[in-house]
């Protein structure tokens, strides 16, 4: 059985006022760049962001 895939997302408020779950930003040594999300392919600082984990459990998508 393959290892489960876990994704780290950050919920941010975009400039147009909507919210979005975007990928977290990692630096070259695979460490997390705190409070940064990848918006439209570019890293942006979002101090209001909240981190979430996304993975599958029993075929169902789980957000924590």
Best CA proximity match to 23, nearest among 32, 56, 15, 1: 32
**What is the pLDDT, as a whole number, of residue 5?**
87
Contact in structure between 46 and 37 (CB atoms under 8 Å): yes
**What is the pLDDT, as a whole number, of residue 3?**
73
Instruction: Please indicate, yes or no, whether the overall pTM of this predicted structure exceeds 0.85.
Output: no
Distance CA 46, CA 24 (A): 11
pLDDT along the chain (64 residues), means of 10: 84 93 94 94 94 92 91
Distances (CA, A) of 4 to 1, 26, 30, 55: 9, 20, 19, 7
């Amino acid at each position: 059985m393959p290892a489960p895939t876990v994704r780290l997302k950050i919920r941010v408020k975009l400039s147009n006022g909507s919210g979005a779950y975007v990928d977290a930003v990692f630096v070259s040594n695979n460490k997390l760049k705190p409070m940064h999300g990848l918006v439209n392919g570019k890293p942006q600082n979002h101090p209001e962001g909240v981190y979430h984990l996304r993975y599958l459990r029993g075929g169902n998508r789980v957000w924590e």
